[in-house]
C-alpha cells in the first residue's frame, strides 16, 4: 500500500544543510494501523509531509497505492491527495463554520452536489459520534469533539489513507483513549490504512500493529509492536517502552533491593500473550525452594495481546536459582538479570 525506498530529505538553509530524514525504507500494508514514534526533531513531521506529497524527497521514492507521490505533480498530485487525508494536533478547523459546514468543506472543493454533501455529512456525523452537534461552532466544542470533526472532515472524500500527525497530543488521557478507539473502529469498518505519528508509546500500544522508531532522521528499529515491547534493541526504544511498562518508576525500589539483598539476583521477567496468566512465580518457589520478592509488576494491553513485566529478587542456592531460570526459559518467559541501575 505504502512503500518508502531509501528516502532522504535535506533542507538547505543559510547556515548550511539540515538532514531531516536519512535513508529510510518502510512498507505499510493496506488496511493496517502503522505507528511512527520519535521525540521532537526525529523527522516524524517531515515523514508525514513526504507521504502526502507536501514535500519531495531529496533522494528515494514514495509510493502510495501504486502511485509515485514523490514524482507526480499538478493535477495528478491533487487527485492523489484526495485519497490521502490528514488530521492534526490542533484540529485546523474553520472557526466561522459550523460542525456540518466544516465537514462539508472538502466536498465543496471537490465539486460534490449539495444534496450529496448533505447526505455524506450526516453519515460522517453519525460515524464520529457528533449527532446533535451539527450546528455548533468549534468554540462551543471540547477538544475531543473538535478532533472528531477533524476526523469526519478527513473522511469526507472516502480516502484510502489517513495520516494522523500527533492527533491526540493536545487531549487529556481519557479523551485520547476515546479518539484512539474511534480510529480503531473506523479502521475496522472502512478498511482504511492509518499512519500515526506520535511521541507517546501509549498511542502505539493502544491501536498499532507495527511501529517504526525514529531518531535523528533515521528509523532505528521497526517491527510488530509486541516484539518491540518484548525485546527493544535501541536505547530510545527502551525509553519509550518504559513509558507504558512502568519500570522507570521502580528504579528506587531496585536500588534498595540491590543494597538489602546483595546475594540474590534482581531479575526482570517479560511475558507476552497468555503467558501473563501462568502462575510461574508460585511454581518456582515450590519446586526449587527459592525466595522471591516482587519489586514491581505491570501488564499492558496491545492490539496483539497482553505484554507484562515483573521485576523480582530471587535468592537461594546457586543450583536452585539456575533451575528456576531453566523453568522460566522452558515457558518462553524472558529473564534478564539486573546487576546495576
What percent of the chain has a predicted confidence (pLDDT) above 90? 52
Looking at the chain, the whole-number percentage of residues with pLDDT higher than 70 is 93
**Mean pLDDT to the nearest integer, 261-268:** 77
Length of the chain measured in residues? 341
Among the listed residues 265, 266, 280, 279, the one whose alpha carbon sits nearest the alpha carbon of residue 316: 265
Q: Are residues 22 and 103 in the same domain?
A: yes
Three-class DSSP labels, 196-263: EEECCHHHHHHHCCEEEEEECCEEEEEEEHHHHHHCCCCHHHHHHHHHHHCHHHHHHHHHHHHHHCCC
* Residues 297 and 239 both lie in one domain: no
What are the grid coordinates assigned to 125, written together?
A: 456525523
Which of 243, 265, 296 terminates a domain? The answer is: 243
Of 233-237, 248-252, 288-292, which gets the smallest average pLDDT? 248-252
What mean pLDDT do residues 169-184 have?
A: 92
* pLDDT of 251 higher than 80: no
Claim to verify: residue 230 and residue 303 sit in the same structural domain: no
177 and 318 both lie in a single domain:
no
Give the least confident one: 74-88, 156-170, 217-231, 269-283: 269-283
Residue 63 sits in the same domain as residue 111: yes
**Residue 71: domain span:** 2-243
Residue with cell string 461552532: 137
Do 49 and 184 have their domain in common? yes
Is 141 in the same domain as 238? yes
What are phi and psi for residue 133, nearest 5 degrees? -110, 15
Contact 85, 161 (CB under 8 A): yes
CATH number of the domain where residue 324 is located: 3.30.70.260
Over residues 225-233, mean pLDDT: 86
Cα separation, 192 vs 54, whole angstroms: 21
Co-location of 256 and 294 in the same domain:
yes
- 80's grid cell: 492523489
- Residue 19's pLDDT band, with cuts at 50, 70 and 90, is very high
Mean pLDDT confidence for 275-302: 81
Q: Where is pLDDT greater, at 255 or 206?
A: 206
Residue 337: the pLDDT is 85
pLDDT confidence band for 67 (50 / 70 / 90): confident
Could you say which of 189, 222, 243 is where a domain stops? 243
Residue 220 has pLDDT above 90, yes or no: yes
Q: Look up the CATH number of the domain holding residue 66.
A: 3.40.50.300
Predicted pLDDT of residue 306: 80
> For the segment 90-138, what is each residue's pLDDT rounded down to a tens digit?
888 999 999 999 999 999 998 999 999 999 999 999 999 999 999 999 9
Q: Which residue has the higher pLDDT, 151 or 313?
A: 151
Q: How far apart are CA 276 and CA 265, in angstroms?
A: 21
**pLDDT value at residue 221:** 95
DSSP 131: T
C-alpha–C-alpha distance, residues 205 and 303, integer Å: 7
Q: Is pLDDT above 90 for 258? A: no
Same domain, 63 and 205: yes
The C-alpha cell that represents 57 in the structure block: 524527497
Considering the domain architecture, whether residues 167 and 276 belong to the same structural domain is answered as: no
Q: Are residues 6 and 119 in the same domain?
A: yes
Cα Rg of the chain (Å, integer): 24
- Between strands 33-37 and 210-215, the pairing is parallel
User: Is the pLDDT score of 248 beyond 70?
Assistant: no
Q: State the angle between helix axes of 114-127 and 99-109 in degrees (0 to 180), rounded to the nearest 10.
A: 130
Count of domains in the chain? 2
Of 190-204, 214-228, 230-244, the range with the lowest mean pLDDT is 230-244
Task: Report whether pLDDT(304) > 80.
Answer: no
Same domain, 208 and 275: no
Is pLDDT above 70 for 254? no
Tell me which of 219, 243, 267 is where a domain ends.
243
Amino acid at each position: 500500500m505504502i512503500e518508502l525506498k531509501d528516502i532522504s530529505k535535506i533542507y538547505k538553509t543559510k547556515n548550511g544543510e539540515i538532514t531531516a530524514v536519512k535513508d529510510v525504507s518502510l512498507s505499510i500494508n493496506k488496511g493496517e494501523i502503522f505507528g511512527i514514534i520519535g521525540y521532537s526533531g526525529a523527522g516524524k513531521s517531515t515523514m508525514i509531509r513526504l507521504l502526502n506529497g507536501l514535500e519531495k524527497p531529496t533522494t528515494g521514492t514514495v509510493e502510495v497505492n501504486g502511485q509515485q507521490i514523490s514524482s507526480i505533480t499538478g493535477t495528478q498530485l491533487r487527485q492523489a491527495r484526495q485519497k490521502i487525508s490528514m488530521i492534526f494536533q490542533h484540529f485546523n478547523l474553520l472557526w466561522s463554520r459550523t460542525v456540518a459546514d466544516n465537514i462539508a468543506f472538502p466536498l465543496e472543493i471537490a465539486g460534490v452536489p449539495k444534496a450529496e454533501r448533505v447526505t455524506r455529512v450526516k453519515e460522517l456525523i453519525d460515524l464520529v459520534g457528533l449527532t446533535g452537534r451539527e450546528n455548533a461552532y468549534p468554540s462551543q466544542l471540547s477538544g475531543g469533539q473538535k478532533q472528531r470533526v477533524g476526523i469526519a472532515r478527513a473522511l469526507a472524500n472516502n480516502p484510502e489513507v489517513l495520516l494522523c500527525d500527533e492527533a491526540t497530543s493536545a487531549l487529556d488521557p481519557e479523551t485520547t483513549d476515546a479518539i484512539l478507539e474511534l480510529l480503531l473502529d473506523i479502521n475496522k469498518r472502512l478498511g482504511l490504512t492509518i499512519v500515526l505519528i506520535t511521541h507517546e508509546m501509549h498511542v502505539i500500544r493502544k491501536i498499532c500493529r507495527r511501529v517504526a522508531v525514529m531518531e535523528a532522521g533515521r528509523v532505528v528499529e521497526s517491527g510488530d509492536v509486541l516484539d518491540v515491547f518484548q525485546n527493544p534493541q535501541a536505547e530510545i526504544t527502551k525509553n519509550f517502552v518504559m513509558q507504558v511498562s512502568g519500570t522507570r518508576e521502580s528504579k528506587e525500589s531496585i536500588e534498595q533491593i540491590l543494597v538489602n539483598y546483595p546475594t540474590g539476583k534482581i531479575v526482570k521477567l517479560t511475558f507476552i500473550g497468555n503467558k501473563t496468566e501462568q502462575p510461574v512465580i508460585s511454581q518456582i518457589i515450590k519446586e526449587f525452594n527459592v525466595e522471591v520478592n516482587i519489586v514491581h509488576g505491570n501488564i499492558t494491553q496491545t492490539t496483539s495481546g497482553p505484554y507484562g513485566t515483573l521485576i523480582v529478587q530471587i535468592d537461594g542456592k546457586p543450583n536452585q536459582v539456575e533451575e528456576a531460570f531453566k523453568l522460566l526459559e522452558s515457558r518462553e518467559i524472558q529473564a534478564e538479570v539486573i546487576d546495576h541501575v
